[in-house]
Chains A and B, each alone.
Chain A
Amino acid sequence: MTKEYNFTRIQKKEPTKRKVNDRVQDFQEIEKALPEQILQQQASRCMDCGVAFCHSFGCPLANRIPDINTLVYRGKWREALEMLHATNNFPEFTGKLCPALCEASCTLELDYTSVAIKQIENKIVEKGWQEGWIKPQQPDIQLSQKIAIIGSGPTGLTAAQELARTGFQVTVFEKSAQLGGLLRYGIPDFKMDKKILGRRLQQLYDEGIRFETRVEIGRDISVRYLLRSFDAVLFAVGTPKSKRLDLPGNSLKGITSAHQYLTQQNKLNSGEISKIKEELNARNKDVVIIGGGDTGSDCMGTALRQGAASVTMLEILPKPPQKRSSNDPWPLYPHIFRKSSSMEEGGEILWSTLTTEFIGEKNNIKAVKTKQVQWSDGNFETIPGSEKQLAAGLVIQSLGFELDTDKGLYSHHGMLISDDGNLRSHNSRIFTAGDCATGPSLIVNTINEGRQAAQKIIKKLL
């Protein structure tokens, strides 16, 4: 218990956001962190539960949330940072991007509102950077074994750091020009500024990790080469392929994937390219996004910033309830309606809506046909007579990601793609981790994957 009864006396505080009118003008971050004192007060609401659901049920990384809250409440930010880093290599990423399963499972959710765990964590790590507490850490003992990590997304980076700190010589291979994977190319800047990624990458450099960009395995170098030159190889290549609907009109121009769409904008923002393709620019267009998930929301925010005339999101599922139902009890992450920042900015969302056809004009997308559906017991039926047609100048398909299975690469050296579409390895020196091994997931899970992969490799090599 940090401060007895504070959970009844103090309310949860949400972070403030920039005004909608201001924020849609640029790609700067939307959320503004709360001041230190307020967050200390928020931390004081933590009850240090005997069974900390946040830590043992909510957080996949098992961040020591109650201990951290206690430290913050006592003003021991530096110790809190150390403890946070003990389970989470990159708290600034989760601090910005995690849906905060911990808060959903906080005991206070039963009758009050949860502790502002995510904001507290974000503040801890930001303060750490600000105060210069976060420094490269060199291992006491250097080991001779070499490890190759394929992919520089959060899984790869996490594993790289863990292994380098154990004393191994670690090389990370990345096929793109810059490091970070989805963190760099998938997440819009208004959610997380790329400087945040940059300063962390600098730390990794300084810890002695070697990075090789623009190197694609199977094209530039072979797996055989990797196995010859390294003691262990970790594939953390993610799920770079977007799923697409197989519908009439699928090949019309102006139909794109979320992946492609968001990458373009990120590259533009960072100056990697100077211009985005016109067909991917939402400016003055009616934009239809298919898929109502978080990525869809990111696309919505991006489209609005590009100056779309309208943005409509189509979701086949019905609108979730506002509150938990009795068969969706605490401490599960509740299936409820949450208004994303992009929705605040002017997008519209159509629920229980099935996309049936793309209609084009001169090979360009013109409109999208839809039907309303009725759900019962997990199955849906279309409602007769509910056909609609929506005008569309740009269609973004945001239906999820999958492993790039096209490459024959994965059928050699003991690697294979399992029935569930994930990458496995039977080669005792090749490891797989992250989205490629589990399917698309939350960033918090991918960091966890990276840590576990590192442990497996350490166990194998030591």
Chain B
Amino acid sequence: MQKPYIGSNNLYDQSFEHDNCGIGFTANIDGTRSHKIVSDGIRMLVNLEHRGAVGGDNSTGDGAGLLMEIPDKFFRSQLTSKFTLPQEGKYATGMIFFPENNSFIKKCKSIIHQIVEKEEAEVLGWRSVPTDKRCLQGLALRTEPVVKQIFIGRNKIDESSFARKLYVIRRQIEKEVDEWRREDDIFYIASLSEKIIVYKGLLTGTQLPQFYTDLQNDDFQSAFAIIHQRFSTNTLPTWHRAQPMRYIAHNGEFNTLQGNINRMKAREATLSSGKFGDNVEKIKPVIDISGSDSAIFDNVLEFYLNGGRRIPHVMMMMVPEAYSPEIQMSADKRAFYEFHSAIMEPWDGPAALVFSDGRYIGATLDRNGLRPIRYTLTKEGQVVLASETGVLDIDADKIQKKGRIKGGKMFLVDLKQQRIVPDNEIKAKISRRYPYRQWVERMRIKLRGLFSPSTMPKMDSKELLRKQLCFGYTDEEVKHLILPMVKTGQEAIGSMGNDTAIPIMSQKTKNLFNYFKQQFAQVTNPPIDPLREELVMSLESFVGREYDSIGENPQNYRGLKLHHPVLSFDDLERLKHPDHPDLKSAELDILFQPEQENLETRLETIFAEAKRQIKINDVSLLILTDRNLNKNQVPIPVILAASGLNHYLIAEGLRTRAAIIVETGEVREVMHFALLLGYGTDAICPYLAFQTVRKLYNSDYLSRANTPGDAMDSYITAVKKGLLKTFSRMGISTVHGFFGTQIFEAVGLNEKVVDKYFTGTPSRIGGMGLKEIARESRLMHKKAFPGHGNLPGLLEAGGEYRIRKDGEKHFWNAKTIYKLQYSVRQNDYKEFKDFSHQINAMQQDAGLIRGLIDFKERESVSIEEVEAVDSIVTRFATAAMSMGSISKEAHETIAIAMNRLGGKSNSGEGGEDPARFQDLPNGDSKCSAIKQVASGRFGVTTEYLRNAREIQIKMAQGAKPGEGGQLPGHKVSEEIARIRHTTPGVTLISPPPHHDIYSIEDLAQLIYDLKSVSDNQRVSVKLVSEAGVGTVAAGVAKAKADMVLISGQDGGTGASPLTAIKHAGLPWELGLAEAQQTLVQNCLRDQIRVQVDGQLRTGRDLAIATLLGAEEYGFGTSVLVTLGCVLMRKCHKNTCPVGIATQDPNLRKNFKGKPEYVERFLRFLAQDFRETMAQLGFRTVDEMVGHVDALDFKKAINHWKAENVNLAKLLNADHLKNDAPLCSADDTTEIKPADLELELVEPVQQAINKNKKVKIVRNIRNVHRTVGSYISGKIVDSKGLKGLPEDSVKLQLHGSAGQSVGAFLASGISMEIEGDANDYLGKGMSGGRIILKAPEEIRSNTQTDIICGNVALYGATQGEVFINGSAGERFAVRNSGATAVVEGVGDHGCEYMTGGTVIVLGETGKNFAAGMTGGIAYVYDPAERFDTNCNLDMVILESVWKQEDKDILKKLITKHNQYTNSYQAEKILKNWDANHPLFVKVVPIDYKKVLERMEMKEGREKETVSATEEVYFD
């Protein structure tokens, strides 16, 4: 077997790793210790094993562990012969991993003894922890550590400071050992505490007690056990990365991590006070940056915990709940959060955390509540809390309560008080520990009064033009980026992909901003929907000085609060002359004189001056300005100056003493603002953008704005919205969390620049140094001060988004488009070769990364020997373009062509007309081979999935990763609505995340679901290239996908903000190479196929892609071009004149494409590819895949900017050395449905074949996942979507159902579950009935008990659901046809719903009906408070007065009562006349209009939808 191998100088970086997991704890509330708790913990781990993963060697778990009380009794029984333990609490135990190296261990021990003694504690002795390696294999066995326990006596140390002392001791030991330890020598202190101990390792839950035999001992007792089962995206997990950490176990991801680390580093300098005294220096650095995000969180938590705060307090500080004004909460609590936001930025991300300090055991969720936590209380006083319900079998009669934790809430057990402390109580107590509210009010500084209009100083128009030229403004930016922002208050929208050179290869001068790419959330963490889930978003921040945050005092609240980071002229003026003793400002020019000084020394001077101002003048506001530029003084790129200063001040320990504010002419786009904030700038005044807005106003471009100030405010609004969108793309919800996160990758900057000024940013192909940056700035400056002639009267045209001469070169230009179209129409290969040469020449000249790649000289073979065109074209796929984004004609033409070729066309995310599943009389087929499953789940029915040759999960899209989409109502024709199972004319919204994929183990679950329903059809996952995509790809492989698609940034779109098209995502070369390197290194490559897409146009492109690791290829734009697309880039307008990207019946008539054109193109391409293969001596694609050693890197010629680009990492071939497979022959990996499911097959066949009604009774547990899907697939296969007659198959299940129960359920099945269910119940339900009822024993409190997990009925199209208890968050999200009755729902109920009926007989959480555009909900609201929980942006509330409404309601509630014996239903029905007026009917505004219109039989007329955004395309 091959060994995983980590090379260096390649694209893989350990910091990209992610992990997501199953977590939980169990505890006896009264603190009784028992071995049962320990064994229950282990059982929970075993039952969560499906949330973990195993690696490429198929045996090593990613990690599991337990955090428990110190088993005092056990130790006393074990240590009798060695030494005597003092009384419990007077000693501490450490759990330490050593390498198998005696001299190493000896050396460590002596260091440990020294330090312990120095700190006046006493080493009592050591114990070798017995381990049994027989259960280990592979990586775990090879890296197995020696585990020892140390016992330390408290001696004379005060009881209350013992824990702190142990912390100080541990940090010193770690630091000292780290100084001489080699990197691969493991030395790790898993825990060192007088209260708790951690047993963990590179194990699965089953292996844990086998390995640590201690855990099997009955004396090993604890009152609680925290558990953690890890799923890591990569397969190089290590022993010490297993969790729990020392205080927490974490499921999720911290998106803001880099910012948190930087801020913490900056803060360290001021941390000096409080309980640590002098010891604080022994602790620093607080963070061990080699740890995972969870470990780093644990470090900081530990610091504040030992600094004097209690664990719930620290959790509230680090993971605050949302407290925006829309959210009801006490003034004290709000003040607490506001106060602490000045001390600590949120650790943002989808996070479920369980924690303990030995006294408190708790769990909390981040504000979004994207991770599930469920709990059960028993009558005997045991808590069982975990990512899933049903992890322990508990008899129904023992259950006291079942519940879940909501977003931002805390669940806390206090072992001392022997009770559960409710969220409200604990938070209220902590909020009143100090008079935070008074402190906040006293210390707050107001920047500007309410409603004062913005003013703007005048700027002479020549001066304006000159400055615009100096900062590289173009006409296009003014008219197509800034103008739409001012006019609409939002970012400009565009379509199609980016087909220009990457900035480092461009011949044009660029602002330094352009050399950065935004990263975004995919798979391991979800992006957010900033529009529909606005209440978690915030742009508020504080500027000024930070004080020591260990102690608690009013000064911690710095008080100058900004509502958003964009400063108007007035704001800036006030900051320049602040009238407050705490605020003092200094202006620093960020200009340099190229004739006299070099950029580097100038930057040093600026930084030194900043330091002087802080130290000597006590300045707290540093204002960097380029306003004073002139003939001799060239502005320094503002991002360089600001980020450089940020890192300089961090290094100097001064960062928290002053804010960095910039006044700059360079900033104009949202991306610019985002970059500055992301690199630590506190606030920005874009003076030149404002003046440009004024000019637009003066030149009469703006009709609606009343004053220039209004126009400016409108621009600011657009920036704010754009920023929120940027944060949410990365899964971050507040600007506070975003500061300094550096979630960007540099493409084209050299290591020196990045290390010094953008420390920590990935930059993998080298590029410009300071010299080149200075040169570029000078070139732009020269345009403003040409030294002869006149200043040009106009700005340069631009040409980024629309071709302009002298602008950026586009690969799709008049000549190439014409050539390609001509070649396929005339069937002329020679013309195609011309096209191919033109494109290849452009790449080499100035264009793409692959332009710098060359083939090595190799022995060629004759072309006859090379794999045939017919065979190669089967590896081709077309890009996902939904019918809706493109016309029916275009969509079907592509499908026919691909089916003729034996390649694969892609349905896109909008479903597919079932009529297309049948072959045409002439033998052609319009059935798309690939059926896409995207976040909107439109048209995803069981039938749709059964008719796929491949099911593709779209995680992101090249042109707009991390974003959702919107198909405006006027594009939703009758036909599209039918296919998507929605109503014509109703706007359709796709959420940014898949609501059933917030992490990698969720993806594994969805893959499992899809494979279950489709009977092991090939499943692929579409990712977009970014730094770290390789690790995600490894995770995807481990999640058992069959193919991973790496999409380049340059893929097309039907509509997307221009920022996303240009600035998010990376070229595929980087992503593909990284994915290949990571997969091969981890021995996973043979388990998954790799496809690549993103503006592939020639045989050379394919050859390079193949050698970098792809074996399949996707084409989008090029295929459209062959069909007549001329890159109008008007897809989002519905006005495509060639009938492709439009639904307008008149324009569709213009479509002239033919399947033959697509066929010819792909055949030409295959032939072109073959020629290169022959030249390189490869006979088959398979033998060619991954042979990166056949590629060479050539230097850019005549290209001053790109001269220092270096592709060594990209072309690194070290991973070829370990002989691991480079490609995959296997098309599909099979999964086996649960035994329970297999038992159902036989009876279901009976029902199908013999029309017999069958009834099956079984027990069910949480490990039985996706029950009902496999048989549903079978039913639809033989009977179609209409399925079997009602109740043909009756399933009676008892217990806790696993995830996705009833997913894609077919008509004819009715499931009755007595017990409870986990997440995703009824996902994609396409018929049938699910009845979920609480066990009879607890039925009385059904309304408050949670018996159904999160995200039920996601994308359901038909069927009925009855639940006589409450459900979790996002009930019926994107439901488009199912009917449901439930007795309570969590937050975001009926989100994005487009059809169906939902009745809630109890309470709802916040944000009900956000983005709901169709369907109807009825909510029982006797308290009349529902309106405060409902998001009223798109719906209206009515009472139930129409007879038909009353009838429906009554009918369904009656049914509910019959099926579930619901007390609540019974109560309501008993007094129907009094109760029905207490129902609120929730109707989407659009939907209501459409319904009314349909009623009135009006013709459908065009509707303008003001809600923004985009049409998807893919």
Q: Are B814 and A56 in contact (CB under 8 A)?
A: yes
Given known A-B contacts A83-B794, A107-B1126, A110-B1138, A48 and B802 have beta carbons under 8 A apart: yes
Is A62 at the interface (CB under 8 A from chain B)?
Answer: yes
How many whole Å from A323's CB to the nearest CB in chain B? 15
Q: Are A55 and B1130 in contact (CB under 8 A)?
A: no
How many whole Å from B508's CB to the nearest CB in chain A? 16
Binds A, one of B140-148, B782-790, B999-1007: B782-790
Is A227 at the interface (CB under 8 A from chain B)?
Answer: no
How many whole Å from A452's CB to the nearest CB in chain B? 12
Q: Are B1130 and A141 in contact (CB under 8 A)?
A: no
Q: Are B810 and A51 in contact (CB under 8 A)?
A: yes
With CB as the reference atom, state the residue of chain A lying closest to B815.
Answer: A57
Is B130 at the interface (CB under 8 A from chain A)?
Answer: no
Is A8 at the interface (CB under 8 A from chain B)?
Answer: yes
Which of chain A's residues have a CB closer than 8 A to the CB of B1254? none
How many whole Å from A143's CB to the nearest CB in chain B? 6
With CB as the reference atom, state the residue of chain B lying closest to A85.
Answer: B793
Which of chain A's residues have a CB closer than 8 A to the CB of B802? 48-52, 66
With CB as the reference atom, state the residue of chain A lying closest to B1136.
Answer: A47
Given known A-B contacts A50-B1128, A67-B475, A329-B818, A56 and B1137 have beta carbons under 8 A apart: no
Choose one: B793, B812, B1133; the contact of A51 (CB below 8 Å).
B812
How many whole Å from B905's CB to the nearest CB in chain A? 24
- Give the residue among B701, B803, B817 with the most A Cβ atoms within 10 A: B803
Which of chain B's residues have a CB closer than 8 A to the CB of A56? 803-805, 813-814
Q: Are B699 and A79 in contact (CB under 8 A)?
A: yes
Which of chain B's residues have a CB closer than 8 A to the CB of A202? none
Q: Are B790 and A47 in contact (CB under 8 A)?
A: no
Is B1127 at the interface (CB under 8 A from chain A)?
Answer: yes
Q: In the complex, A4→B970 CA distance in Å?
A: 15
Q: Are A67 and B793 in contact (CB under 8 A)?
A: no
Which of chain A's residues have a CB closer than 8 A to the CB of B699? 76, 79
Is B453 at the interface (CB under 8 A from chain A)?
Answer: no
Which of chain B's residues have a CB closer than 8 A to the CB of A141? 787-789
Q: In the complex, A8→B700 CA distance in Å?
A: 28
Contact residues of A between 1 and 47, Cβ < 8 Å to B = 1, 4-5, 7-8, 47
Q: In the complex, A194→B99 CA distance in Å?
A: 96
Contact residues of A between 93 and 122, Cβ < 8 Å to B = 105, 107-108, 110-112
Given known A-B contacts A7-B1137, A167-B788, A462-B788, A50 and B813 have beta carbons under 8 A apart: no
Q: In the complex, A7→B1144 CA distance in Å?
A: 14
Which of chain B's residues have a CB closer than 8 A to the CB of A7? 1137
Q: In the complex, A48→B1147 CA distance in Å?
A: 17
Choose one: B805, B815, B826, B1138; the contact of A62 (CB below 8 Å).
B805
Q: Are B793 and A82 in contact (CB under 8 A)?
A: yes
Q: Are B1128 and A49 in contact (CB under 8 A)?
A: yes
Choose one: A8, A50, A76, A332; the contact of B801 (CB below 8 Å).
A50
With CB as the reference atom, state the residue of chain B lying closest to A330.
Answer: B818
Which of chain A's residues have a CB closer than 8 A to the CB of B914? none
Return the CB mask of A292-335 against B: 1 if under 8 Å, else 0: 00000000000000000000000000000000001101111000
How many whole Å from B1101's CB to the nearest CB in chain A? 20
Q: Are A86 and B496 in contact (CB under 8 A)?
A: no
Q: Are B1150 and A51 in contact (CB under 8 A)?
A: no
Is B761 at the interface (CB under 8 A from chain A)?
Answer: no
Return the CB mask of B469-480 against A: 1 if under 8 Å, else 0: 000000100010
Is A424 at the interface (CB under 8 A from chain B)?
Answer: no
Q: Are B814 and A64 in contact (CB under 8 A)?
A: no
Is A139 at the interface (CB under 8 A from chain B)?
Answer: yes
Return the CB mask of A133-146 against B: 1 if under 8 Å, else 0: 00001011101000
With CB as the reference atom, state the residue of chain A lying closest to B806.
Answer: A62
Is B1135 at the interface (CB under 8 A from chain A)?
Answer: yes
A interface bracket (residues with beta carbon within 8 Å of B):
35 or more
Contact residues of B between 790 and 808, Cβ < 8 Å to A = 790-794, 797, 801-806
With CB as the reference atom, state the residue of chain A lying closest to B797.
Answer: A64
Q: In the complex, A79→B1146 CA distance in Å?
A: 35
- Give the residue among B701, B789, B803 with the most A Cβ atoms within 10 A: B789
Is B725 at the interface (CB under 8 A from chain A)?
Answer: no
With CB as the reference atom, state the residue of chain B lying closest to A145.
Answer: B788
Is A166 at the interface (CB under 8 A from chain B)?
Answer: yes
How many whole Å from A451's CB to the nearest CB in chain B? 12
Is A200 at the interface (CB under 8 A from chain B)?
Answer: no
Choose one: A4, A55, A105, A165; the contact of B804 (CB below 8 Å).
A55
Is B1129 at the interface (CB under 8 A from chain A)?
Answer: yes
- Chain A at the B interface: SS class: loop
Is B1195 at the interface (CB under 8 A from chain A)?
Answer: no
Which of chain B's residues have a CB closer than 8 A to the CB of A330? 818
Which of chain B's residues have a CB closer than 8 A to the CB of A185? none
Is B113 at the interface (CB under 8 A from chain A)?
Answer: no
How many whole Å from A77's CB to the nearest CB in chain B? 12
With CB as the reference atom, state the residue of chain A lying closest to B1151.
Answer: A111
Given known A-B contacts A107-B1126, A329-B822, A51 and B803 have beta carbons under 8 A apart: yes
How many whole Å from B253's CB to the nearest CB in chain A? 37
Which of chain B's residues have a CB closer than 8 A to the CB of A57? 813-815, 818
Is A53 at the interface (CB under 8 A from chain B)?
Answer: yes
Contact residues of A between 135 and 188, Cβ < 8 Å to B = 137, 139-141, 143, 165-167
Is B825 at the interface (CB under 8 A from chain A)?
Answer: yes
Q: In the complex, A44→B817 CA distance in Å?
A: 25
Q: Are A86 and B792 in contact (CB under 8 A)?
A: yes
Q: In the complex, A387→B803 CA distance in Å?
A: 54
Which of chain B's residues have a CB closer than 8 A to the CB of A1? 1130, 1133, 1135
Q: Are A50 and B1129 in contact (CB under 8 A)?
A: yes
Q: Are A110 and B496 in contact (CB under 8 A)?
A: no
Given known A-B contacts A111-B1150, A141-B787, A47 and B1135 have beta carbons under 8 A apart: yes
Q: Are A50 and B794 in contact (CB under 8 A)?
A: no
Contact residues of B between 1110 and 1134, Cβ < 8 Å to A = 1124, 1126-1130, 1133
Q: Are A110 and B794 in contact (CB under 8 A)?
A: no
Choose one: A8, A76, A107, A140; the contact of B1128 (CB below 8 Å).
A107
Which of chain B's residues have a CB closer than 8 A to the CB of A67? 475, 479, 797
Contact residues of A between 319 and 365, Cβ < 8 Å to B = 326-327, 329-332
Which of chain B's residues have a CB closer than 8 A to the CB of A143? 788
Q: Are A47 and B822 in contact (CB under 8 A)?
A: no
Which of chain A's residues have a CB closer than 8 A to the CB of B789? 139-141, 165-167
Given known A-B contacts A83-B794, A111-B1138, A51 and B813 have beta carbons under 8 A apart: yes
Given known A-B contacts A48-B802, A62-B805, A105-B814, A53 and B1135 have beta carbons under 8 A apart: no
Which of chain A's residues have a CB closer than 8 A to the CB of B1147? 8
- Give the residue among A1, A48, A49, A140 with the most B Cβ atoms within 10 A: A49
Q: In the complex, A137→B803 CA distance in Å?
A: 29
With CB as the reference atom, state the residue of chain A lying closest to B822.
Answer: A329
Choose one: B496, B803, B812; the contact of A55 (CB below 8 Å).
B803
Q: Are B1135 and A4 in contact (CB under 8 A)?
A: yes
Given known A-B contacts A50-B496, A56-B813, A165 and B805 have beta carbons under 8 A apart: no
Choose one: A47, A55, A79; the contact of B1137 (CB below 8 Å).
A47
Q: Are B1133 and A50 in contact (CB under 8 A)?
A: no
With CB as the reference atom, state the residue of chain A lying closest to B1139.
Answer: A111
Q: Are A8 and B1138 in contact (CB under 8 A)?
A: no
Q: In the complex, A83→B812 CA distance in Å?
A: 25
Q: In the complex, A82→B1133 CA distance in Å?
A: 29
Q: Are B813 and A8 in contact (CB under 8 A)?
A: no
Q: In the complex, A112→B1139 CA distance in Å?
A: 13
Apart from A47-B1137, A49-B1130, A139-B788, what are 6 other A-B pairs with CB-CB below 8 Å?
A50-B801, A50-B1128, A51-B817, A86-B792, A140-B791, A330-B818
The 9 tightest CB contacts between A and B, nearest first, are A50-B1129, A57-B814, A62-B805, A166-B789, A50-B1127, A51-B1127, A111-B1150, A53-B814, A56-B803
26 contacts between A and B (CB under 8 A): A1-B1130, A4-B1133, A5-B1135, A51-B1127, A53-B1126, A55-B803, A57-B814, A62-B806, A74-B701, A76-B699, A83-B794, A105-B814, A107-B1126, A107-B1137, A110-B1124, A110-B1126, A140-B790, A166-B789, A167-B788, A167-B789, A326-B826, A329-B818, A329-B822, A330-B818, A331-B818, A462-B787
